[in-house]
């Protein structure tokens, strides 16, 4: 984006931003503008955002107007409704509309009301929450579980709670925002290893231990990476952690419940149940609720985080309704019905990935509820997602800085309520939309 454009807008320029302004730039452009007025960058960003919205090129901040099912309605920030085939929601086993899950919420509402009334350190825990922790411990094969108000809070809290300023964090370069932010907030010693590159992680760990034998090391990765739908060699990472006296943390937000034998995710698929040092996760992808957890073998870890993970200590505990929804969802995940729902999900995932590939599109990663479709240039991607909405396909756009420049992508998210035929229909719509916008994207000059 031309750097003088937001500056001119911040100074009150009367120029009308045009389509080119909406097709270029990124949210990163508004982070570092120097000004004595702290809100100047916010006004410049709002102008750019409004320009994208006016041209139908802002697929963010939408709100659901109906349940997140295979077909739904999303409302744009300007009040326009988009209805269509929904590959934009995180409800992998379609449990948010499950009758048993909804009944559990209603029953708990009658017993506890809607509020937790305190943090997990004070009086915010409820008996059902303790039962949920025990059920999760059995499911994960790790005896100690602590609940957090969100998955983000769990990821940030475990790192910031455990790591002191002189300690080290070795982390996959594509790890989730909560993990990266937690590492940067905890220590200046943050070491990024190349994505899924165990050999590079080993070199970093060896270099750290050669110069520092006194301080701790946290090694951080994920079960299924949310932008690329790929997975690390968890056994190799755990072996590295043991070799270099580090502690391994694995985030299973996107795979737990939705993949693997019994819903065990990548940890189960790789035969490592109960063997990872620390497992963290979110309930918002498969378990129909906000919330997160940290699990490990040590009661000391759980009790330490209860007091030293600020995102747990200084936030209200999960509400009774959230706990009821998660616990009932977990029961379904572990049941015969859960296996059936995972099979239905994977049939759609496989059909969608195959159809996209047959259309000549690049599909990243491996079979998971996340199906990333590489689009490339941001300007083309923005036009394509607008066209998809007009063709009644709802899918999420991911662009820089969430992914590298010129690597914009769709992050399509499948649910067990989808059918393989709907997956093939979605793939055809993506291909048609891309073909239609290619000439339009070529008409406006690209800005490096």
- Tens digit of pLDDT for each residue in 216-248? 999 999 999 999 999 999 999 999 999 999 999
* pTM of the predicted structure, to 2 decimals: 0.92
Question: Which distant-in-sequence residues (6+ apart) come within 8 Å of 425 by Cβ?
Answer: 85
| Domain that residue 403 falls in | 59-87+336-448
What is the full DSSP assignment across 225-252? -TTT-----HHHHHHHHHHTT-EEEEE-
Q: Is residue 189 included in any domain, yes or no?
A: yes
Last residue of a domain, one of 317, 333, 349: 333
Last residue of a domain, one of 312, 333, 354: 333
Instruction: Please state, for a pLDDT cut of 90, what percent of the chain lies above it.
Output: 89
Q: Are residues 171 and 124 in the same domain?
A: yes
CATH of the domain at 445: 3.90.1150.10
Q: Are residues 104 and 212 in the same domain?
A: yes
Q: How confident is the model at residue 404 (pLDDT cuts 50, 70, 90)?
A: very high
Q: Are residues 128 and 262 in the same domain?
A: yes
| Of residues 123 and 294, more confidently modeled | 294
Q: Are residues 311 and 365 in the same domain?
A: no
Q: Are residues 46 and 66 in the same domain?
A: no
Q: Are residues 153 and 230 in the same domain?
A: yes
Torsion from C-alpha of 373, 377, 379, 380, nearest 10 degrees: -50
Q: Are residues 51 and 145 in the same domain?
A: no
Q: What average pLDDT score do residues 84-106 get?
A: 97
| Of residues 219 and 3, more confidently modeled | 219
Q: How confident is the model at residue 442 (pLDDT cuts 50, 70, 90)?
A: low
| Of residues 424 and 117, more confidently modeled | 424
pLDDT in tens, 128-187: 999 999 999 999 999 999 999 999 999 999 999 999 999 999 999 999 999 999 999 999
Residue 300 class from Cβ within 10 Å (0-12 exposed, 13-18 middle, 19+ buried)? exposed
Last residue of a domain, one of 333, 350, 366: 333
Q: Are residues 319 and 197 in the same domain?
A: yes
What is the full DSSP assignment across 105-139? HHHHHHHH-S---SBTTTT---HHHHHHHHHHHHH
Q: Are residues 279 and 380 in the same domain?
A: no
């Amino acid at each position: 984006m031309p750097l003088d454009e937001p500056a001119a807008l911040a100074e009150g320029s009367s120029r009308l931003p045009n389509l080119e302004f909406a097709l270029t730039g990124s949210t990163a452009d508004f982070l570092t503008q120097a000004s004595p007025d702290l809100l100047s960058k916010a006004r410049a960003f709002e102008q750019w955002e409004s320009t994208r919205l006016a041209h139908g090129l802002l697929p963010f901040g939408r709100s659901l107007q109906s349940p997140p099912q295979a077909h739904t309605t999303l409302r744009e920030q300007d009040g326009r409704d988009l209805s269509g085939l929904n590959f934009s929601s995180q409800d992998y086993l379609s449990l948010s509309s499950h009758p048993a899950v909804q009944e559990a919420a209603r029953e708990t509402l009658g017993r506890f009301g809607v509020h937790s009334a305190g943090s997990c350190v004070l009086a915010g825990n409820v008996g059902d929450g303790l039962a949920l922790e025990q059920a999760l411990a059995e499911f994960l094969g790790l005896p100690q579980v602590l609940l957090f108000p969100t998955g983000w809070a769990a990821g940030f809290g475990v790192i910031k709670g455990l790591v002191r300023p002189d300690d080290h964090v070795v982390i996959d370069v594509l790890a989730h925002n909560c993990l990266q932010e937690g590492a940067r907030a905890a220590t200046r010693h943050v070491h990024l290893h190349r994505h899924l590159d165990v050999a590079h992680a080993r070199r970093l760990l060896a270099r750290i231990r050669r110069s520092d034998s006194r301080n701790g090391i946290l090694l951080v990765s994920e079960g299924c990476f949310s932008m690329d739908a790929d997975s690390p060699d968890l056994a190799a990472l755990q072996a590295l952690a043991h070799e270099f006296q580090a502690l391994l943390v694995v985030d299973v937000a996107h795979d737990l419940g939705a993949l693997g034998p019994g819903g065990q995710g990548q940890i189960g698929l790789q035969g490592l149940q109960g063997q990872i040092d620390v497992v963290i996760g979110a309930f918002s992808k498969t378990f129909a609720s906000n919330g997160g957890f940290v699990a490990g073998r040590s009661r000391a870890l759980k009790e330490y985080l209860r007091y030293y993970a600020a995102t747990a200590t200084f936030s209200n505990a999960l509400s009774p309704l959230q706990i009821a929804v998660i616990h009932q969802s977990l029961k379904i995940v572990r049941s015969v019905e859960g296996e059936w729902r995972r099979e239905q999900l994977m049939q759609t995932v496989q059909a969608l990935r195959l159809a996209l590939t047959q259309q000549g599109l690049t599909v990243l990663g491996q079979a998971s509820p996340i199906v990333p479709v590489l689009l490339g240039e941001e300007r083309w991607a923005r036009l394509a997602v607008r066209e998809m909405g007009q063709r009644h396909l709802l899918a999420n756009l991911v662009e820089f800085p969430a992914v590298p420049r010129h690597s914009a992508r769709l992050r399509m998210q499948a649910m067990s309520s989808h059918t393989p035929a709907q997956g093939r229909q979605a793939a055809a719509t993506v291909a048609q939309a891309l073909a239609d916008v290619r000439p339009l994207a070529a008409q406006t000059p690209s800005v490096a």
